[in-house]
């Protein structure tokens, strides 16, 4: 009952303002829910478009021509980790370039055997011998060149050069691959290098000769994420609650709310222990003082160590002292009839 009375008292005092405040809150919450749903968060995403890849590698092979117990004569060996000089003195190297197909691509490739003499890591003599090179335009997605190298002759040359160099410095033999290309959309180059080990018994390429390059154009666009449905639901629930509360306030305000009667009922409930029901006799020799509230009358009763007397017939509350009667009544006409008693 106390909560209901407090609500009615609040509506009685501030009902009009409360109604419009709840209405505005409901509209704002509903608008907020709609805005959150209609404008989800966005993020910037970068995608790679027009992707093209170009790659190059070198393959090796040799046909067995010498006497050996390892292979049969005429056998073809491909991409071996090592080749026996006596069995395969001639090495075939093939450069292959993979490019985008369906469009004309200009490709230039060059494979060279480079010998370098150094002292203290500084070269003072270099020999650069082109093994294979070529320039072509292809739309089939690949281009290749090949050549056969007499590795026995290379071994003789390396041995002579090392003998000439002696202990002066270091000596290195390398294969170097250089490729340039023009796909129409992109231009670029690929390089790869590997030491070549050559001895009287065998020869081999230390590491794979290969390279790859990928071209693309970044495109940034805005992508919308999912709306925050939890927040949408919360705002929607707040809007419904505000509208329902505004409707409740409007419905209660249709009744005739007696705020003073509510205040009196609440004060009566609060100060029940200080109030005694009794008939109040009139005494013309006493002085009568009216209080503005039941709470004020109870304060007088506490201060004077008296009880509050309530006469239900005229609905009057009093505190009687020796020469003064303090009273409180909401109905002035009841007071008049009580004084005439």
Question: Which residues have CB under 8 Å from 175's CB, separation 6+?
Answer: 58, 93, 111, 112, 113, 114, 131, 193, 194, 196, 205, 209
- Find residue 193's DSSP bridge partners: 176
Give one word for 74, left, alpha or beta, with left for phi > 0 and alpha for psi -120 to 50.
left
Angle, helix 2-38 to helix 229-253, in steps of 10 degrees: 140
> What DSSP letter does each residue of 135-189 carry, written as one string?
EEEESSSEEEEEEEEEHHHHHHHHHHHHHHHTTSSEEEEEEEEEEEEE-SS-EEE
Report which secondary-structure segment, H or E, holds 250. Answer: helix 229-253
Check: pTM over 0.75? Answer yes or no: no
Enumerate the β-bridge partners of residue 58: 95
Instruction: Reduce the DSSP state of residue 108 to 3 states and report it.
Output: strand
Distance, in Å, from the CA atom of 337 to the CA atom of 314, rounded to the nearest integer, reads 8
> How far, in Å, CA of 292 to CA of 329, rounded?
9
pLDDT tens digit at each of 341 positions of the chain: 466 556 655 565 556 677 788 788 888 989 988 988 888 888 889 898 889 999 999 999 999 998 788 999 999 999 999 999 999 999 999 999 999 998 999 999 999 999 999 988 889 999 999 999 999 999 999 999 999 999 999 999 999 998 888 888 889 999 999 999 999 999 999 999 999 999 999 999 999 999 999 999 999 988 888 888 898 899 889 889 888 877 776 766 656 665 556 666 666 666 677 777 777 766 666 788 888 887 888 888 888 888 888 887 777 888 888 778 888 887 666 666 555 54
Please tell me the predicted confidence (pLDDT) of residue 88: 94
Give the separation between CA 210 and CA 97, rounded to whole angstroms. Answer: 10
Structure confidence at residue 130 (pLDDT): 95
Q: How far is the C-alpha of 53 from the C-alpha of 38, rounded, in Å?
A: 41
pLDDT of 59: 96
Residue 1, pLDDT score: 46
Using an 8 Å Cβ cutoff, are 76 and 90 in contact? Answer: no
d(CA 107, CA 184): 11
Exposed / middle / buried, residue 17 (Cβ in 10 Å: 0-12, 13-18, 19+): exposed
CA torsion 256→261→263→265, rounded to 10°?
Answer: -120
Element spanning 202, H or E: strand 202-205
Contact yes or no for 145/92 (Cβ under 8 A): no
User: How many whole angstroms from its chain centre is CA 254?
Assistant: 52
Q: How far apart are CA 291 and CA 297, in angstroms?
A: 6
For residue 270, give both structure tokens: 């609060």
């Amino acid at each position: 009952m106390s909560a209901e009375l407090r609500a009615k008292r609040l509506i009685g005092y501030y009902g009009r303002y409360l109604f419009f405040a709840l209405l505005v809150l409901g509209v704002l919450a509903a608008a907020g829910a709609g805005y959150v749903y209609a404008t989800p968060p966005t993020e910037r995403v970068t995608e790679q478009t027009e992707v093209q890849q170009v790659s190059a590698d070198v393959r090796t092979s040799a046909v067995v021509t010498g006497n050996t117990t390892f292979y049969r004569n005429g056998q073809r060996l491909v991409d071996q980790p090592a080749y026996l000089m006596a069995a395969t003195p001639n090495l075939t190297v093939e450069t292959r370039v993979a490019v985008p197909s369906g469009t004309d691509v200009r490709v230039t490739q060059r494979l060279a055997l480079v010998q370098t003499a150094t002292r203290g890591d500084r070269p003072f003599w270099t020999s650069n011998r082109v093994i294979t090179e070529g320039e072509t335009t292809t739309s089939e997605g690949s281009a290749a060149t090949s050549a056969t190298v007499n590795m026995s002759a290379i071994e003789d040359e390396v041995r002579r050069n090392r003998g000439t160099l002696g202990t002066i410095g270091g000596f290195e033999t390398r294969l170097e691959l250089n490729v340039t290309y023009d796909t129409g959309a992109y231009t670029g180059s690929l390089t790869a290098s590997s030491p070549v080990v050559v001895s009287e018994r065998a020869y081999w390429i230390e590491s794979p000769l290969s390279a790859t390059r990928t071209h693309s154009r970044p495109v940034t666009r805005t992508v919308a994420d999912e709306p925050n449905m939890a927040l949408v639901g919360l705002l929607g629930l707040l809007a419904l609650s505000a509208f329902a509360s505004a409707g409740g306030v409007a419905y209660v305000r249709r009744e005739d709310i007696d705020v003073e009667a509510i205040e009196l009922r609440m004060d009566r409930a609060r100060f029940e222990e200080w109030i005694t029901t009794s008939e109040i006799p009139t005494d013309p020799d006493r002085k009568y003082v009216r209080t503005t509230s039941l709470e004020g009358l109870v304060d007088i009763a506490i201060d004077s160590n008296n009880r509050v007397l309530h006469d239900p017939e005229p609905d009057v509350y009093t505190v009687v002292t020796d020469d003064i009667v303090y009273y409180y009544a909401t109905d002035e006409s009841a007071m008049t009839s009580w004084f005439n008693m």
